[in-house]
Structure 1
Amino acid sequence: MVVAVVAAALAAPAGAHAGPNSARTAIVSLGDSYISGEAGRWQGNSINAARDRDGTDRAAFDCTVATCSYDPGRVYGASATNGCDRSDVAEIKSAAIAVDQKVNLACSGATTANIFRTSKGGEAFKGEPPQGDQLLYVAHASNVKLVVLSIGGNDLGFADIIQACATAYLTRQPPCRTSQQQVLDSKFGAAMRNVARAIDEIRAIMSDAGYTQARLVVQSYPSVFVRASENRYAENDPAQRAGVGGCPTYDTDADWARDSVVNQIANGLKFVAVSKGVQFLDLRDAFQGREVCSKSTRQASLIQPPSPTTSEWGRFLNQSTVAQGVLQEAVHPNAYGQRALGRCLRLIYGSFSRGGNCTNVAGQGPNAMRLAPF
C-alpha cells in the first residue's frame, strides 16, 4: 500500500504508468533528516521557554500574554506522528523550481537500507515502505524531473558521534576525536558502498518506470556546529557554551568535527557521485558563519527577534532543545537553513556542471546562496 505522504502529494494519475509522458511534473527528495526537514519547526534559537520562544517556534499558535499552544503538525504535517518530520520548508519544498509537485519521501533517521525497494532487500521504516517503493509510484504517476538524495550519515552513526562528543565535554572526560575517528573509519567504506548501491537502485527504479534518462543529485551535509576559533563561548565555561549556546564540545573536537569529519564525509560522497556520473551538491561550507554558537550570529531575544541574516541556521543542543521540542531536532538545519539549502538545490538544478559548492553570503539571507561549479 502506498503511504499517505505519496497519496496526499499526488492525485490518481491520468493514465496508468504515465511516467515520463505525464503532463504533470514533479521533483522528489529521498534520504534522511538533513533533507526531510528535521528542525524546520525552528527559526533561530532562544533559551526562553515561554510563549513562542522569542519568535523562534513556528509551531506556536493561539498565543496570549503568558502562554501559547504548540502543534508540531503545523510544520511537519502528518509526519510529526511517526517522526519522519518532513517540514513545510524542507529543501525540496523551498526550492524555487517550477513543477507541479514537490514530493518529500525522506525520513528522519533513514539509512541506505531504507532507500532500496522491498524486492531488493530494502527495509520499511517508521511504518512506511522503503523510499524506493514510494519513488516507483511517484515516477509512474508523474514526470519526475529531478531526484535529490541525502543519505549516509546514519549509516556512519553520526548521531552517536555527536552524543559521544557532547557527553565527553559535559562529564569532563577526554576529548572524543580519537575514539570516534576510529568508529567513523570502521564504518566508512561500507557506508560509501551502500550510497553507491542506492544510486544504482534509484536509476533502476526510474528505468523500470520508463525513463531513459533520470536526473539525480547527491548532496553532502552542512556543518551545524562551529570551529573553535569562531565560537562565541569559551571552552572553559560550560554553563555558557553548553547551557546557553547549545554547542557542548571541546575546542579540539569542534575543529575535528567541522574540518575533518564534515570534509571526510563530503569527499567520500563526492567521489561516489562523480564515479557514478551524477551531480554532486557540496554543502560542507553552506552554513559557514551561520552555525550554532558562531560569533557572527546571535540567539533571538525579546528585543532581538529571529532573522535569517543574524540568527543561527541550525538547531542547538542543550536542555532547551528538549524543554521546547524534541532531542532529534538538535544539530539539524532549521527553517532558515532549510530555505538556504532549497536555494542551493535550485541553483544546481539550473546548472549542467558535474556539481558545485554552495555557500552563503555574509550578512544576507538564504536567497543569496551561491553555487561555484566544479
Structure 2
Amino acid sequence: MTYVRRSSRAVGILLGAVLTAGSIVAGTPASAEHLAGEASALPTAVVSLGDNGISGEGAGGYEPGTNGENGNWCHRSVHAMVHKTTLAAKTVNLACSGAKSAHVGFGGPVHNTEGSQAERLTTVARQYRVTTVIVRVGSNDDPQFSGTVAACIGAYLYPERPDCSSFLRTEWPTRLAAMAPKVKAALVDVRTAMSNAGYGSSSYKLVLTSYASPITERMDAASQQAGCPFRLTDARWARTEAVPQLNAALRSVASQVGARFLDLSRATENREACSRGSNPAAEWQTRITVDPWRMVNGQLTPEEKVRAGESFHLNATAHAQVGRCMTEFVQSNASYATCLERSDGNLHAVLS
C-alpha cells in the first residue's frame, strides 16, 4: 500500500459547452483554448449530495435554515466533510439528514421541506465550474440505519431477546441487493443533472463514498452502559460483516456508473464510538445522545428524537479528517482508495 501523492489541481475544460450569460449551456465550442478561458471565469466548486452521513449530522454547527426552521432538519453542518476539502474555491453542501436515494434523484418526494438534490445541483453547476461531485447515500434506503441501530440497542437492553445479528445476518444481503439499484438510479440522475448544465462526463469527477463503522466490539462494559448499549457479538457483526458488505455493494454501484469510489468503512477504525473508554474526545464517532431506554420504548420527546438522530455519526474532527482524505483521493486521479489512519494520526487515501 502507498500513500496517494498530492498533485496540483488541473484546470478543467468543459468540452461541448460554452459559457453564456453566467450559465453553462450546450453549444459548439470555437476551440478548446477558448473554452478553457471562458470556463476559468467562473469560480470552481465541489458539491456534496446525499444523507446524514455526509450532511454533517452529529457534527454540530448547523447552517441557518437547516436546524428545524420551518420544519427543515437537514442538519447541514459548517463542519461537514465537503467544507474541509481543498479541491475548489467554493464548497457547496446539498446533502440532507435522513435522505434516501429518491431524494437525491429527480422526481422524488419532498424531504425536510426540500426537493430534488439533483435538480439543485444543476443550478449550482451553472453558477460555478463544478470540478467534483461527492455522493454518499443508501443507508436510509433498505438497510434502514436508524431502525437497525434501535433493534440492536433493544437486544442489549432486553436480555431475553436474541442478538440482533442473529436475524440481520440473514436479512442484510437482501436489503443491500434492494438498495443497490436505488443508489444507481440516484447517481444516473446526478450525471443527468450535470449534463443538463452543459457538462461532459469527463469534465468533472463523480465520487461515491461508503460509510464508516460506528461501533466496535473492542469496548469495555462501562462504555456499553454509558454510551454504546450494544452486545459485543452485535457490534462485531456490524464492524466486520455489515459495514464491509455495505461498502462492497456501494463500490459495485460506483463501477456500474463510472464513478470513483472512496472506501470509508475503516475510516474510524480504533476511534469508533466508545473505543477509547473514558476518553471520548479521542473518538471520531458520536456516542448515543439520549436515554436508550426511552428511545427503544418510543418515549422520546420531539426534541429528543432530533438529538437521537445525531447518535453514532461522524463528529467534527472526523469530518475534517475525511475531508483531507477526500482531497488526497480526488487529486490522485485513482479510481479507488481506502481512508486509513496512519502513524501521523491522520487519515490518508491509501491505494491497494
Pair 1:353 & 2:334 matched: yes
Whether the aligned pair in 2 keeps the contact of 1:242 and 1:317 (CA below 8 Å) is: no
- Summarize the Cα distance change of 1:323–1:152 in structure 2 as closer, same or farther, 3 Å threshold: closer
Structure 1: 5+ residue stretches without partners = 1-12, 42-73, 235-239, 301-305
Paired residue for 2:193? 205
Whether the aligned pair in 2 keeps the contact of 1:298 and 1:312 (CA below 8 Å) is: no
Whether the aligned pair in 2 keeps the contact of 1:274 and 1:354 (CA below 8 Å) is: no
Pair 1:106 & 2:77 matched: no
Whether the aligned pair in 2 keeps the contact of 1:116 and 1:123 (CA below 8 Å) is: no
State the shift of 1:241 in Å: 3.3
Paired residue for 1:371? 349
Whether the aligned pair in 1 keeps the contact of 2:326 and 2:349 (CA below 8 Å) is: no
Q: Which residue, out of 206, 217, 235, partners 1:216?
A: 206
2 CA distance for matches of 1:286 and 1:96? 19
Paired residue for 2:53? 34
Whether the aligned pair in 2 keeps the contact of 1:290 and 1:313 (CA below 8 Å) is: yes
Alignment of 1:328-343 (within 5 A): 328-343=309-324
Alignment of 1:244-323 (within 5 A): 244=226, 246-295=227-276, 298-299=278-279, 306=281, 311-317=282-288, 319=290
How many corresponding residue pairs?
Answer: 304
- Partner-residue secondary structure (3-state), 2:269: coil
- Partner-residue secondary structure (3-state), 1:357: strand
TM-score, with normalisation over the residues of structure 2? Answer: 0.81
2 CA distance for matches of 1:371 and 1:35? 18
Pair 1:188 & 2:170 matched: no
Q: Percent identity?
A: 31
1 CA distance for matches of 2:305 and 2:185? 38
2 CA distance for matches of 1:277 and 1:325? 36
Whether the aligned pair in 2 keeps the contact of 1:358 and 1:372 (CA below 8 Å) is: yes
Superposition RMSD in Å:
2.2
Residue identity matched to 2:284: W
Pair 1:130 & 2:116 matched: yes
Q: Which deviations, in whole Å up to 9, do the C-alpha atoms of 1:264-287 show, x marking residues without a partner?
A: 000111111123221100001111
Paired residue for 1:144? 130
2 CA distance for matches of 1:323 and 1:190? 31
Pair 1:153 & 2:139 matched: yes
Pair 1:241 & 2:223 matched: yes
2 CA distance for matches of 1:369 and 1:185? 29
